[in-house]
Structure 1
Amino acid sequence: MKITSIETTIVNAIHRNWVFVKVQTDQPGLHGWGEATLEWKTRAVNGAIEDLAPLVIGEDPMRIEHLVARMTRFGFWPLGAVSGSAVSGIEQALWDIKGKALGVPVWELLGGRVRDNIRVYTHLRRAKIGAQVGIEDISAFCDAVQETVEMGYSAVKLGLIPYTGHDAPLSAVRHTAKLAQAVRERVGDEVDIMTDFHGRPESLDAAKAYIDAIAPIRPMFIEEPIQPGNTPAMADLARRVDCPLATGERLFSPREFAEVAETRAVAFVQPDLAHCGGFSGGRRIAAIAEAAGMGVCPHNPMGPVAGAVALQFDVATPNFVIQEEAVGLVPWFEDICSSYPLELVSGAWAVPDAPGLGIEIDEKTAAKYPFKQEEIPALEAIHGDGRIAHW
């Protein structure tokens, strides 16, 4: 069996373009899907996939680790967000091909099922674009949280803090404390709450002030309380607060995650399989985390193929904890698929048994939403004095 071509299908989902990767083989009807979506870098990722194609076309798609080495070692330059996403999308598609060729789901190839369902969490109103609620109106925000939980979830991730610089104004911290407490009172103790800081605080003291305000409601974790990459600072912060921390969506290599594990900087790591090397990179990262006693909560606010990939990974990963999903981003999320495995049952995804990833993109339907410039919500991230904030 040989790889004959690599194609991309780009689908505009308003705030991002989903980049679906299709790897074709010389076996009639046998192909694989992957997803290489990277917010606001669509053209760059698509070009990187074109650059990688000559390294794998003509090769045996069943030799996945060999092909990952070809894509990473022949390239000379270390992988970053763009090239890492391109490699990830192609790598995922290879697993899809292998599972289909052998007639088994990908989770079977990863060592087999270690759990019976995959607990998931969603965002406010399932991340539906245009349906979000600001943090200023506590009552309206709580109404939206309650509405989200009633959609069938036992866990939800919320944005609870404002754009933040090096300081944390007392009035903003007190408002955050009131908001967090109101949310907890509304949903009760049976619902897990996470909050994503998006790396907004620019100092450990600012991050600590907001964490201390939220900690009394016992969140499952606080995500990216500071910008990623400064692992010693994250470890320092972890020792100064009484709340589990999480990071990893903007880390790409096992070496980066090894530093996080060695310093015990967080309680949970959040690799994104669309950026960190697909299943191959994700498995290495999960093993590193397991050795350090850390849970894995994969990042995924993207399209349906990314969801299918995460589902297969979670089924076979012993230290998996909970999976992010955003299946409500657009109303036609499921419609672009002719086969769709993300079945929500009591706040969890069911384990699929179809060969490969269990997902197929309906390319005719997907073509109704062609590439166009995304709407970029980060453009609103500006401090009162005009300085650019971390979104």
Structure 2
Amino acid sequence: MRIARIETFQVPPRWLFCRVETDDGLVGWGEPVVEGRAEVVRAAVEVAAEHLLGADPLRIEDHWQVLTKGGFYRGGPVLSSAVAGLDQALWDIAGQAYGVPVYALLGGPVRDRVRMYTWVGGDEPAEITDSVGAAVAAGFTAVKMNGFGRIGRAATAADLAGLVDRVAAARAVLGADRDVAVDFHGRVAWPTAPRAIAAIADLHPLFVEEPLPPEYGHQLSRLTAGPVPIATGERLYSRTDFLPALTAGIAVAQPDLSHAGGISEVRRIGALAETFDVPLAPHCPLGPVALAASLQVDFATPNVLIQEQSMGIHYNTGNDLLDYVADPTPFRFVDGYAQRTETPGLGVTLDEAAVRAADGRDAGWRNPLWRHPDGSLAEW
């Protein structure tokens, strides 16, 4: 069996899929994308395909080593994301070739279902109340919300009061038996981060996500000593990126299966995190293949806490996760949990006709550019 063909498809709302086909007809899918830079990752996949075409698809680890270390320059979000999608597709092929789900190839299942959370929006407490109420009605036991919109380098009293009001509105709906995670999105600067975390401590967030941009990881240890669990990792791309964050005392590691080297590397990140007694909450505001790959890791990894998913998220205007899926069964959540299935490979069947028809309709999503009142660039 040899790899005969590799294709990529850039589709709305902001996703990139890759399709790897073997000479005996097996097809594996992956999702290699950096949100806002899909075209760049697409080019990186095309370069990586030079190594894979004609090769044995089942030599997954050897391909991962060559694609990540075979060039003199290595690492970074573009290369790691290109490798991630191809790695997902190769695991998909391997599962189909052996007739088992990918989690079986990773050592077998350690759980029968995975707890999921959903993102909720709203700038005002009343909007948060409505959004969280809808999530609870849909069966979710956990939600995630943004802590701030655009914010200056030092929070005002009004900024902090608004944060508390919004999180309190979520907590009021959730009660004591459900969870709210609060995403700072790397938007706050050091003077604000400890004050903001302290302000919501009594509301018992499941975790505060990305309280600082990743380049300021050396400051994390000054935040992790407090009572609020700190999570980070969506902009960390390897074990070596995660090691300083783990030694700094983060409570939750959030690798992204489409950024951090795919199933192969996230599995290793999970094992590294386990040596620190740190659980995983894989980051996944993306499409169906990324989520399917995440779930395969979740089912086989002991230290998984919870899984993100993107259905209904505000990015998905015009197209949502199920629009490209032929069988939605893997993504039917029961009481806020994804159920384990026995489908070989990644466990998801894409609607290939829909994917091909959508290719080229993505105009190229870009994240907003925000500025402070003085005209300087603000973190989005």
TM-score by length of 2: 0.95
For residues 101 and 229 of structure 1, the distance between their equivalents in structure 2, rounded to whole angstroms, comes to 41
For residues 149 and 95 of structure 2, the distance between their equivalents in structure 1, rounded to whole angstroms, comes to 45
Q: What's the CA shift for 1:179? A: 2.2
Q: Is 1:237 aligned with 2:223?
A: yes
Q: Is 1:39 aligned with 2:35?
A: yes
Mapping 1:236-275, distance limit 5 Å:
236-239=222-225, 241-264=226-249, 266-275=250-259
Report the counterpart of residue 274 of structure 2 in structure 1: 290
With over 3 angstroms needed to count, the CA separation of the structure-2 counterparts of 1:5 and 1:369, relative to structure 1, is closer
Q: Given that residues 113 and 337 in structure 2 are in contact (C-alpha distance below 8 angstroms), is that contact kept between their aligned partners in structure 1?
A: yes
Amino acid at match of 1:249: E
* TM superposition outliers: structure 1 runs of 4+ over 6 Å: none
Q: What's the % identity of the aligned pairs?
A: 40
Q: What's the CA shift for 1:262? A: 2.2
Q: What's the CA shift for 1:202? A: 1.6
Q: Given that residues 56 and 71 in structure 1 are in contact (C-alpha distance below 8 angstroms), is that contact kept between their aligned partners in structure 2?
A: no
Amino acid at match of 2:172: E
Q: Given that residues 229 and 251 in structure 1 are in contact (C-alpha distance below 8 angstroms), is that contact kept between their aligned partners in structure 2?
A: no
Q: Given that residues 263 and 297 in structure 2 are in contact (C-alpha distance below 8 angstroms), is that contact kept between their aligned partners in structure 1?
A: yes
Q: 1:331-387 CA deviation, whole Å, 9 max, x = no partner?
A: 5521322234222111000001111012222122223433332453423x2222222
For residues 290 and 324 of structure 1, the distance between their equivalents in structure 2, rounded to whole angstroms, comes to 19
Q: Given that residues 245 and 268 in structure 1 are in contact (C-alpha distance below 8 angstroms), is that contact kept between their aligned partners in structure 2?
A: yes
Pick the aligned partner of 1:21 from 14, 18, 21: 18
SS of match in other structure, 1:157:
strand
With over 3 angstroms needed to count, the CA separation of the structure-2 counterparts of 1:305 and 1:199, relative to structure 1, is same
For residues 180 and 82 of structure 2, the distance between their equivalents in structure 1, rounded to whole angstroms, comes to 32
Q: Given that residues 161 and 210 in structure 1 are in contact (C-alpha distance below 8 angstroms), is that contact kept between their aligned partners in structure 2?
A: no
For residues 332 and 89 of structure 1, the distance between their equivalents in structure 2, rounded to whole angstroms, comes to 19
Q: Is 1:152 aligned with 2:139?
A: yes
Q: State the aligned residue count.
A: 374
Q: Given that residues 251 and 271 in structure 1 are in contact (C-alpha distance below 8 angstroms), is that contact kept between their aligned partners in structure 2?
A: yes
Q: Is 1:225 aligned with 2:178?
A: no
Q: Given that residues 269 and 297 in structure 1 are in contact (C-alpha distance below 8 angstroms), is that contact kept between their aligned partners in structure 2?
A: yes
Q: What's the CA shift for 1:258? A: 1.4
Amino acid at match of 2:7: E
Mapping 1:310-349, distance limit 5 Å:
310-328=294-312, 329-330=316-317, 332-340=320-328, 341-349=330-338
Report the counterpart of residue 389 of structure 1 in structure 2: 378
Q: What's the CA shift for 1:75? A: 1.8
Q: Is 1:302 aligned with 2:286?
A: yes
SS of match in other structure, 1:335:
helix
Q: 1:95-126 CA deviation, whole Å, 9 max, x = no partner?
A: 110100000000000000001101000101xx
Amino acid at match of 1:277: G
Q: Is 1:11 aligned with 2:8?
A: no
Report the counterpart of residue 127 of structure 1 in structure 2: none
Amino acid at match of 2:376: R
SS of match in other structure, 2:323:
coil
For residues 323 and 165 of structure 2, the distance between their equivalents in structure 1, rounded to whole angstroms, comes to 40
SS of match in other structure, 2:4:
strand
Q: 1:131-158 CA deviation, whole Å, 9 max, x = no partner?
A: x43x2x3222212221222122100000
Q: What's the CA shift for 1:311? A: 0.8
Report the counterpart of residue 167 of structure 1 in structure 2: 154
Pick the aligned partner of 2:95 from 90, 95, 99: 99
For residues 374 and 209 of structure 1, the distance between their equivalents in structure 2, rounded to whole angstroms, comes to 37
Q: Given that residues 161 and 176 in structure 1 are in contact (C-alpha distance below 8 angstroms), is that contact kept between their aligned partners in structure 2?
A: yes
Q: Given that residues 224 and 248 in structure 2 are in contact (C-alpha distance below 8 angstroms), is that contact kept between their aligned partners in structure 1?
A: no
Pick the aligned partner of 1:214 from 187, 200, 208: 200
For residues 157 and 222 of structure 2, the distance between their equivalents in structure 1, rounded to whole angstroms, comes to 23
Pick the aligned partner of 2:363 from 362, 365, 373: 373
Q: Unaligned regions of 5+ residues in structure 1, if any?
A: 125-131
Pick the aligned partner of 2:110 from 109, 114, 123: 114
Q: Given that residues 163 and 390 in structure 1 are in contact (C-alpha distance below 8 angstroms), is that contact kept between their aligned partners in structure 2?
A: yes
For residues 208 and 120 of structure 1, the distance between their equivalents in structure 2, rounded to whole angstroms, comes to 28
Q: 1:59-112 CA deviation, whole Å, 9 max, x = no partner?
A: 111110011112122222122111111101011111110100000000000000
SS of match in other structure, 2:322:
coil
For residues 233 and 2 of structure 2, the distance between their equivalents in structure 1, rounded to whole angstroms, comes to 34
Q: Unaligned regions of 5+ residues in structure 2, if any?
A: none
Q: What's the CA shift for 1:208? A: 1.1
Pick the aligned partner of 1:354 from 309, 323, 343: 343
For residues 227 and 149 of structure 1, the distance between their equivalents in structure 2, rounded to whole angstroms, comes to 31
Pick the aligned partner of 2:84 from 85, 88, 108: 88
- What is the RMSD of the two structures over their aligned residues, measured on CA atoms? 1.5
For residues 63 and 183 of structure 1, the distance between their equivalents in structure 2, rounded to whole angstroms, comes to 47
Q: Given that residues 181 and 205 in structure 2 are in contact (C-alpha distance below 8 angstroms), is that contact kept between their aligned partners in structure 1?
A: yes
